[in-house]
Amino acid sequence: MTAEVWSISIEKYLIVLICFLSMNDLKAKDVMNKNVIYINLPNSREKVLELFKQYGISAVPVVKNNKLVGIVTRKDILRKVDENQLALLMTPNPTTVQASDSIKKVANILASTPFRRLPVLDGDKLVGIITIRDLIRKIAEMNIDKPVKDYITPNVITVWHETPLNIVGEVMRLSNAEICSVLDDNAEMVGLIDEKIMLTESLIEEFIYQTEYYSSSDTDDAWTWDGIRDYSIKYFEVSVVKLPKKPVKEFMKHPAFVYPYTTISKCAREMEKNDIDHMPVLDSLNRLMGLVKDKDIIKVLVE
Protein backbone atom coordinates (compact mmCIF):
# COMPACT_ATOMS: atom_id res chain seq x y z
CA MET A 1 0.00 0.00 0.00
CA THR A 2 1.42 3.38 -0.99
CA ALA A 3 1.75 6.25 1.46
CA GLU A 4 -0.98 8.15 -0.39
CA VAL A 5 -3.47 5.27 -0.26
CA TRP A 6 -2.57 4.66 3.37
CA SER A 7 -3.23 8.33 4.16
CA ILE A 8 -6.64 8.20 2.48
CA SER A 9 -7.53 5.00 4.36
CA ILE A 10 -6.56 6.53 7.69
CA GLU A 11 -8.54 9.68 6.90
CA LYS A 12 -11.63 7.66 6.00
CA TYR A 13 -11.27 5.58 9.14
CA LEU A 14 -11.03 8.71 11.31
CA ILE A 15 -14.16 10.20 9.68
CA VAL A 16 -16.11 6.99 10.38
CA LEU A 17 -14.76 6.86 13.96
CA ILE A 18 -15.69 10.48 14.65
CA CYS A 19 -19.17 9.84 13.23
CA PHE A 20 -19.59 6.78 15.43
CA LEU A 21 -18.44 8.60 18.57
CA SER A 22 -20.61 11.65 17.86
CA MET A 23 -23.69 9.46 17.33
CA ASN A 24 -23.13 7.69 20.64
CA ASP A 25 -22.68 10.99 22.48
CA LEU A 26 -25.87 12.54 21.09
CA LYS A 27 -28.81 12.93 23.44
CA ALA A 28 -32.46 13.68 22.75
CA LYS A 29 -31.92 17.25 23.95
CA ASP A 30 -29.30 17.74 21.20
CA VAL A 31 -31.73 16.90 18.41
CA MET A 32 -35.19 17.84 19.70
CA ASN A 33 -37.16 20.95 18.76
CA LYS A 34 -37.16 23.07 21.90
CA ASN A 35 -39.83 25.46 20.64
CA VAL A 36 -42.55 22.86 20.95
CA ILE A 37 -46.10 23.90 20.09
CA TYR A 38 -48.54 22.51 22.66
CA ILE A 39 -52.16 22.98 23.71
CA ASN A 40 -53.67 23.24 27.18
CA LEU A 41 -56.65 21.41 28.60
CA PRO A 42 -59.52 22.10 28.46
CA ASN A 43 -59.78 23.00 24.80
CA SER A 44 -61.59 22.27 21.54
CA ARG A 45 -61.14 20.67 18.15
CA GLU A 46 -61.31 24.08 16.47
CA LYS A 47 -58.27 25.28 18.41
CA VAL A 48 -56.34 22.13 17.48
CA LEU A 49 -57.10 22.61 13.78
CA GLU A 50 -56.12 26.26 14.10
CA LEU A 51 -52.70 25.26 15.46
CA PHE A 52 -52.26 22.62 12.73
CA LYS A 53 -52.92 25.19 10.04
CA GLN A 54 -50.96 28.05 11.65
CA TYR A 55 -47.76 26.07 12.21
CA GLY A 56 -48.01 23.47 9.44
CA ILE A 57 -47.93 20.55 11.89
CA SER A 58 -49.98 17.38 12.25
CA ALA A 59 -49.79 16.74 16.00
CA VAL A 60 -49.54 18.68 19.26
CA PRO A 61 -48.79 17.57 22.83
CA VAL A 62 -51.57 18.24 25.35
CA VAL A 63 -50.68 19.81 28.70
CA LYS A 64 -52.62 20.26 31.94
CA ASN A 65 -51.21 22.05 34.98
CA ASN A 66 -47.81 22.20 33.22
CA LYS A 67 -47.68 18.41 32.85
CA LEU A 68 -47.98 16.33 29.67
CA VAL A 69 -51.24 14.39 29.65
CA GLY A 70 -51.65 13.41 26.00
CA ILE A 71 -51.09 14.09 22.33
CA VAL A 72 -53.58 14.83 19.57
CA THR A 73 -52.92 14.15 15.89
CA ARG A 74 -54.66 14.84 12.62
CA LYS A 75 -55.79 11.22 12.54
CA ASP A 76 -57.36 11.56 16.00
CA ILE A 77 -59.48 14.42 14.64
CA LEU A 78 -60.63 12.28 11.72
CA ARG A 79 -61.32 9.18 13.79
CA LYS A 80 -63.66 11.12 16.09
CA VAL A 81 -65.39 13.62 13.82
CA ASP A 82 -68.38 13.95 16.16
CA GLU A 83 -66.21 14.90 19.14
CA ASN A 84 -65.27 18.48 19.97
CA GLN A 85 -63.64 18.17 23.40
CA LEU A 86 -59.86 17.89 23.33
CA ALA A 87 -59.84 15.58 26.37
CA LEU A 88 -61.80 13.00 24.37
CA LEU A 89 -59.92 13.56 21.09
CA MET A 90 -56.39 13.15 22.41
CA THR A 91 -54.43 9.96 23.02
CA PRO A 92 -53.67 9.95 26.77
CA ASN A 93 -50.33 8.98 28.33
CA PRO A 94 -48.25 9.04 25.12
CA THR A 95 -44.88 7.36 24.82
CA THR A 96 -42.13 9.81 25.78
CA VAL A 97 -38.36 10.06 26.15
CA GLN A 98 -36.22 12.00 28.59
CA ALA A 99 -34.00 14.84 27.40
CA SER A 100 -30.99 12.88 28.68
CA ASP A 101 -31.87 9.70 26.75
CA SER A 102 -29.47 8.66 24.00
CA ILE A 103 -30.35 9.28 20.38
CA LYS A 104 -29.94 5.53 19.90
CA LYS A 105 -32.84 4.92 22.28
CA VAL A 106 -34.98 7.52 20.51
CA ALA A 107 -34.21 6.01 17.09
CA ASN A 108 -34.98 2.53 18.36
CA ILE A 109 -38.44 3.57 19.59
CA LEU A 110 -39.32 5.46 16.40
CA ALA A 111 -38.00 2.68 14.14
CA SER A 112 -39.91 -0.08 15.94
CA THR A 113 -43.29 1.61 16.53
CA PRO A 114 -45.87 3.43 14.37
CA PHE A 115 -44.93 6.74 16.05
CA ARG A 116 -43.39 9.54 14.02
CA ARG A 117 -42.77 11.88 16.96
CA LEU A 118 -42.03 11.67 20.67
CA PRO A 119 -42.56 14.31 23.36
CA VAL A 120 -39.34 14.99 25.29
CA LEU A 121 -39.50 15.45 29.06
CA ASP A 122 -37.11 16.70 31.71
CA GLY A 123 -38.51 14.84 34.68
CA ASP A 124 -42.22 15.40 34.14
CA LYS A 125 -41.88 18.76 32.39
CA LEU A 126 -42.39 19.00 28.61
CA VAL A 127 -39.22 20.53 27.14
CA GLY A 128 -39.39 19.56 23.47
CA ILE A 129 -40.52 17.19 20.75
CA ILE A 130 -38.41 14.98 18.52
CA THR A 131 -39.53 13.63 15.15
CA ILE A 132 -38.24 11.22 12.54
CA ARG A 133 -37.47 14.26 10.38
CA ASP A 134 -35.22 15.61 13.17
CA LEU A 135 -33.23 12.35 13.07
CA ILE A 136 -33.05 12.45 9.27
CA ARG A 137 -31.72 16.01 9.51
CA LYS A 138 -29.02 14.86 11.94
CA ILE A 139 -28.05 11.91 9.71
CA ALA A 140 -27.80 14.34 6.78
CA GLU A 141 -25.17 16.32 8.72
CA MET A 142 -23.04 13.22 9.25
CA ASN A 143 -20.74 11.39 6.85
CA ILE A 144 -22.34 7.96 6.97
CA ASP A 145 -21.13 6.28 3.80
CA LYS A 146 -23.17 3.08 4.10
CA PRO A 147 -25.13 2.57 0.82
CA VAL A 148 -28.93 2.74 0.76
CA LYS A 149 -29.14 -0.59 -1.10
CA ASP A 150 -29.42 -2.42 2.22
CA TYR A 151 -32.53 -0.44 3.15
CA ILE A 152 -34.58 -0.70 -0.06
CA THR A 153 -38.21 -1.82 0.06
CA PRO A 154 -38.83 -3.44 -3.36
CA ASN A 155 -42.64 -3.36 -3.27
CA VAL A 156 -43.68 -0.08 -4.89
CA ILE A 157 -47.15 1.05 -5.91
CA THR A 158 -47.21 2.97 -9.20
CA VAL A 159 -49.90 4.70 -11.25
CA TRP A 160 -50.14 6.38 -14.65
CA HIS A 161 -49.94 10.17 -14.57
CA GLU A 162 -53.40 10.51 -16.12
CA THR A 163 -55.03 8.40 -13.40
CA PRO A 164 -57.70 10.40 -11.50
CA LEU A 165 -56.68 11.26 -7.95
CA ASN A 166 -59.70 9.50 -6.44
CA ILE A 167 -58.62 6.27 -8.18
CA VAL A 168 -55.08 6.73 -6.85
CA GLY A 169 -56.60 7.05 -3.38
CA GLU A 170 -58.45 3.79 -3.90
CA VAL A 171 -55.25 2.08 -5.09
CA MET A 172 -53.45 3.32 -1.97
CA ARG A 173 -56.33 2.17 0.24
CA LEU A 174 -56.39 -1.34 -1.20
CA SER A 175 -52.60 -1.72 -1.08
CA ASN A 176 -52.24 0.06 2.28
CA ALA A 177 -49.56 2.18 0.61
CA GLU A 178 -48.02 5.28 2.18
CA ILE A 179 -46.73 6.67 -1.10
CA CYS A 180 -47.34 6.15 -4.80
CA SER A 181 -44.94 6.71 -7.69
CA VAL A 182 -46.32 8.29 -10.84
CA LEU A 183 -45.19 7.07 -14.29
CA ASP A 184 -45.65 8.72 -17.68
CA ASP A 185 -46.39 7.15 -21.07
CA ASN A 186 -42.76 5.98 -21.32
CA ALA A 187 -42.95 4.23 -17.94
CA GLU A 188 -40.54 6.81 -16.50
CA MET A 189 -41.09 8.15 -13.01
CA VAL A 190 -42.35 11.73 -13.20
CA GLY A 191 -43.69 12.34 -9.71
CA LEU A 192 -44.75 11.18 -6.26
CA ILE A 193 -48.05 11.31 -4.39
CA ASP A 194 -48.28 10.89 -0.61
CA GLU A 195 -50.59 11.51 2.33
CA LYS A 196 -49.44 15.11 2.72
CA ILE A 197 -50.90 15.80 -0.70
CA MET A 198 -53.98 13.66 -0.17
CA LEU A 199 -54.98 14.70 3.30
CA THR A 200 -55.04 18.50 3.36
CA GLU A 201 -56.51 20.73 6.03
CA SER A 202 -59.15 21.98 3.60
CA LEU A 203 -60.40 18.42 3.04
CA ILE A 204 -60.50 17.80 6.79
CA GLU A 205 -62.46 20.96 7.48
CA GLU A 206 -64.82 20.31 4.55
CA PHE A 207 -65.46 16.78 5.74
CA ILE A 208 -66.12 17.83 9.34
CA TYR A 209 -68.48 20.57 8.20
CA GLN A 210 -70.40 18.26 5.89
CA THR A 211 -70.54 15.47 8.48
CA GLU A 212 -71.91 17.80 11.15
CA TYR A 213 -74.43 19.26 8.70
CA TYR A 214 -75.82 15.96 7.57
CA SER A 215 -75.71 14.27 10.97
CA SER A 216 -78.16 16.94 12.15
CA SER A 217 -80.68 16.08 9.42
CA ASP A 218 -82.69 13.02 8.48
CA THR A 219 -81.52 12.91 4.87
CA ASP A 220 -79.20 10.27 3.49
CA ASP A 221 -76.44 11.85 1.42
CA ALA A 222 -73.19 10.85 -0.23
CA TRP A 223 -71.32 12.80 2.47
CA THR A 224 -72.69 10.68 5.34
CA TRP A 225 -70.45 8.04 6.88
CA ASP A 226 -71.87 5.10 4.92
CA GLY A 227 -72.07 7.11 1.70
CA ILE A 228 -68.41 8.03 1.64
CA ARG A 229 -66.96 4.80 2.99
CA ASP A 230 -66.19 3.57 -0.52
CA TYR A 231 -63.97 6.62 -1.08
CA SER A 232 -61.89 5.99 2.02
CA ILE A 233 -58.17 5.48 2.20
CA LYS A 234 -57.30 2.71 4.63
CA TYR A 235 -53.76 3.90 5.21
CA PHE A 236 -55.01 7.16 6.66
CA GLU A 237 -57.08 5.12 9.14
CA VAL A 238 -60.13 7.16 8.21
CA SER A 239 -63.17 6.67 6.03
CA VAL A 240 -63.64 10.29 5.25
CA VAL A 241 -61.91 11.70 2.22
CA LYS A 242 -63.73 12.23 -1.03
CA LEU A 243 -60.94 13.01 -3.46
CA PRO A 244 -61.06 15.02 -6.71
CA LYS A 245 -61.34 13.19 -10.03
CA LYS A 246 -58.68 15.30 -11.72
CA PRO A 247 -55.47 13.60 -13.06
CA VAL A 248 -52.87 12.81 -10.42
CA LYS A 249 -50.26 14.77 -12.42
CA GLU A 250 -51.96 17.97 -11.23
CA PHE A 251 -51.24 17.11 -7.58
CA MET A 252 -47.98 15.13 -7.60
CA LYS A 253 -44.59 16.29 -6.37
CA HIS A 254 -41.73 16.41 -8.84
CA PRO A 255 -39.57 13.29 -8.55
CA ALA A 256 -36.50 12.98 -6.41
CA PHE A 257 -34.45 9.79 -6.41
CA VAL A 258 -31.19 8.12 -5.45
CA TYR A 259 -29.25 5.10 -6.67
CA PRO A 260 -28.44 1.88 -4.75
CA TYR A 261 -24.93 3.02 -3.84
CA THR A 262 -25.95 6.51 -2.76
CA THR A 263 -24.81 6.97 0.84
CA ILE A 264 -27.23 7.08 3.75
CA SER A 265 -26.26 10.67 4.59
CA LYS A 266 -26.72 11.89 1.02
CA CYS A 267 -30.11 10.17 0.82
CA ALA A 268 -31.10 11.88 4.09
CA ARG A 269 -30.10 15.25 2.63
CA GLU A 270 -32.25 14.62 -0.44
CA MET A 271 -35.20 13.62 1.75
CA GLU A 272 -34.92 16.82 3.73
CA LYS A 273 -34.41 18.96 0.64
CA ASN A 274 -37.46 17.53 -1.13
CA ASP A 275 -39.66 17.19 1.97
CA ILE A 276 -40.39 13.49 1.48
CA ASP A 277 -40.41 10.51 3.82
CA HIS A 278 -39.84 7.84 1.15
CA MET A 279 -37.06 8.12 -1.42
CA PRO A 280 -37.39 6.28 -4.76
CA VAL A 281 -34.34 4.26 -5.82
CA LEU A 282 -33.50 3.83 -9.51
CA ASP A 283 -31.33 1.14 -11.08
CA SER A 284 -28.56 1.65 -13.66
CA LEU A 285 -31.21 1.92 -16.42
CA ASN A 286 -33.11 4.57 -14.44
CA ARG A 287 -35.96 2.16 -13.77
CA LEU A 288 -37.72 2.31 -10.43
CA MET A 289 -36.49 -0.55 -8.23
CA GLY A 290 -37.87 0.35 -4.82
CA LEU A 291 -38.16 2.90 -2.03
CA VAL A 292 -36.07 3.84 0.98
CA LYS A 293 -38.22 4.81 3.98
CA ASP A 294 -37.13 7.36 6.58
CA LYS A 295 -38.07 4.89 9.33
CA ASP A 296 -35.59 2.41 7.84
CA ILE A 297 -32.82 4.97 7.45
CA ILE A 298 -32.89 5.96 11.13
CA LYS A 299 -32.04 2.35 11.98
CA VAL A 300 -28.45 3.27 11.14
CA LEU A 301 -28.41 5.15 14.47
CA VAL A 302 -29.34 1.94 16.25
CA GLU A 303 -26.99 -0.34 14.31
Asked if residue 156 and residue 98 are part of one domain, the reply reads no
Domain that holds residue 56: 28-137
183 in any annotated domain: yes
**Structural domain ending residue among the three candidates 88, 114, 137:** 137
Q: What is the pLDDT confidence band of residue 200, given thresholds at 50, 70 and 90? A: low
Residue 82: its pLDDT value, please? Answer: 77
Residue 9: its pLDDT value, please? Answer: 52
Q: How far is C-alpha 85 from the geometric centre of its chain's CA atoms?
A: 26
Residue 205: its pLDDT value, please? Answer: 58
Q: What is the pLDDT confidence band of residue 129, given thresholds at 50, 70 and 90? A: very high
Asked if residue 63 and residue 155 are part of one domain, the reply reads no
Q: DSSP secondary structure string, the chain?
A: --HHHHHHHHHHHHHHHHHHHHHHH-BHHHHSBSS---EESS-BHHHHHHHHHHHT-SEEEEEETTEEEEEEEHHHHHHTTT--BHHHHSEES---EETTSBHHHHHHHHHHSS-SEEEEEETTEEEEEEEHHHHHHHHHHS----BGGGGEE----EEETTSBHHHHHHHHHHHT-SEEEEE-TTS-EEEEEEHHHHS-HHHHHHHHHHHHHHHTSS---TTSHHHHGGG-BGGGTBS------SBGGGTPBPP--B-TTSBHHHHHHHHHHHT-SEEEEE-TTS-EEEEEEHHHHGGGGT-
User: What is the rounded average pLDDT of the residues 55-81?
Assistant: 88
In angstroms, the Cα distances linking 86 to 43, 75, 77, 80, 132 are: 5, 13, 9, 11, 25
| Counted domains in the chain | 2
Asked if residue 294 and residue 175 are part of one domain, the reply reads yes
List the single range of 1-10, 163-172, 258-267 with lowest mean pLDDT.
1-10
d(CA 157, CA 133): 23
48 in any annotated domain: yes
Asked if residue 155 and residue 36 are part of one domain, the reply reads no
List the single range of 81-85, 115-119, 211-215, 280-284 with lowest mean pLDDT.
211-215
Residue 122: its pLDDT value, please? Answer: 95
Asked if residue 152 and residue 55 are part of one domain, the reply reads no
215 in any annotated domain: no
Q: Model pTM greater than 0.85?
A: no
34 in any annotated domain: yes
Asked if residue 169 and residue 45 are part of one domain, the reply reads no
210 in any annotated domain: no
Structural contact between residues 191 and 254, judged by C-beta atoms closer than 8 angstroms: yes
Residue 66: its pLDDT value, please? Answer: 87
Looking up residue 106, the CATH number of its domain turns out to be 3.10.580.10
